[in-house]
A = this chain, B = another copy of it.
């Protein structure tokens, strides 16, 4: 018997029929003897509809009241899911975040979980019930007010509950079959990754992969919770996200998905052997690259002719940071003609207006000549733990982009990632040529090219 925490996103519970399908899946786990805790998001577009409603009465909803409003969404989905389970003969009980012991700070709209005291959830499990918990919400330890956790909050709720309950695995269900080597809508040949480390998943998430929010992966890494990313629409095996492959839960042979739901019957969870087999292709080491992520939601600010005097560049970054913007990449080019530099930085498009206004206000102090803004940029990133020891990665990357006639505008790197900025109109092409160049296309089982030099 295992203790499994499952999280279902809004698309998995979009309507009554979807709720019943999810209930069927949960019932299989419960009837196989597992203890199950289910974390659920609001149904379909409910959250957006509630935000629309708020906007109809005020342009500036108080954050406390907005949290109270939005938490109604999960209240509905969890109660309906619990009813559907009871209808299948599975004893289930729904709990709000507060009832489940999700204790947060008092920052409405983006609260952080401080601790989880799941006494009532443990009691429900001990009593043989499936516990359904509202995702995305908690209660402030100081004000006792209801809080929400912000984007990706339901994933974080699930991971935090899994950690507090010492669950064997935390399954994250959405409408995607797992983590892919690239977005399958752009790269039809993209392959599912059966196993990925937390560090790689964090880099993918930070650079545009939407399957998991970085925050929940960080939490899982810190508490050693194995994450299993799966689709609620299929029986496929999904992707396991963990740094501790030896903590893998064995496949439960009794656990199969209803035949009607099976697209490709892998059944259950991947075993350690599955993963080792999948990750080590015949005669090859683990592949260098785990995936290609892309992001077209950033813009680029370029400040031209900044005096090349110590402290001026630092002042610019201070000004931008104090506007609340999250700076991603920075490139500084010295001019060979005069004593000035050009500084470019990328940031979320939503942060750009405030940042541009702040830079404008500091024009005199910084003493630059001109500011330009470009929202037509795209960022493509290759991520892989293997690149630490593979010097050829950047050469392969630059060569394949060059051969495709795609200009590289900016570059940034970490130990396990290289990101480049290109024209947004070439972003999809860039993702495809990179995916192919690193041998990740599904039909490229043999001739894997890791770069001309190195290895």
Chain A residues in contact with chain B, CB under 8 A?
Answer: 16, 19-20, 23, 50, 53-54, 56-62, 64-66, 68-69, 71-73, 75-76, 78-80, 82-84, 86-87, 92-94, 99, 120, 144
Shortest Cβ distance from A127 into chain B, in angstroms? Answer: 12
Contact, CB under 8 Å: A79 / B65:
yes
Q: Name the CB-closest residue of B to A95.
A: B68
**Taking the nearest CB of chain B, how far is it from the CB of A130, in angstroms?**
12
Q: Are B64 and A76 in contact (CB under 8 A)?
A: no
Distance, CA A53 to CA B80, complexed state (A): 8
| Cross-chain contact B68 with A82 (CB below 8 angstroms) | yes
Q: Is the CB of B68 within 8 A of A86?
A: no
| Cα of A325 to Cα of B144 in the assembled complex, Å | 43
The A interface, classified by DSSP as helix, strand, loop or mixed, is helix
Let me know if A54 and B75 touch, CB within 8 A.
no
Minimum CB distance partner of A91 in chain B: B62
CB distance from A183 to the nearest CB of B (A): 33
B72–A93 CB distance below 8 A: no
Residues on B with C-beta less than 8 A from A69 are 75-76, 79-80, 83
Whether A93 lies near B65 (C-beta < 8 A) is: yes
Question: Which of A23, A57, A61, A93 is the most central at the interface, judged by chain B CB atoms within 10 Å of its CB?
Answer: A57
> Chain B nearest CB: distance from A119 CB in Å?
11
- B66 and A83 within 8 A (CB): yes
20 contacts between A and B (CB under 8 A): A16-B53, A16-B57, A23-B57, A54-B80, A54-B83, A57-B83, A57-B84, A58-B86, A60-B86, A64-B93, A65-B79, A65-B92, A65-B93, A66-B79, A68-B75, A68-B79, A68-B94, A69-B75, A69-B76, A72-B75
Nearest chain B CB to A121 CB, angstrom units = 13
Q: How far, in angstroms, from A16 to B71 measured CA to CA in the complex?
A: 19
Residue of A16, A83, A93, A99 contacting most chain B CB atoms (<10 Å): A83
Q: Are B144 and A57 in contact, with the CB atoms below 8 A?
A: no
Of chain B, the residue at the smallest CB distance from A43 is B53
Contact between B57 and A87 (Cβ–Cβ < 8 Å)? yes
Please indicate the chain B residues that have their CB under 8 angstroms from the CB of A72 in the complex: 72-73, 75-76, 79
Other contacts beyond A58-B87, A60-B87, A69-B80: 15, CB < 8 A: A16-B53, A16-B56, A16-B57, A23-B57, A53-B76, A57-B84, A60-B86, A66-B79, A66-B83, A68-B82, A69-B76, A69-B79, A69-B83, A72-B75, A75-B75
Assembled-state Cα–Cα distance A53/B64 (Å): 28
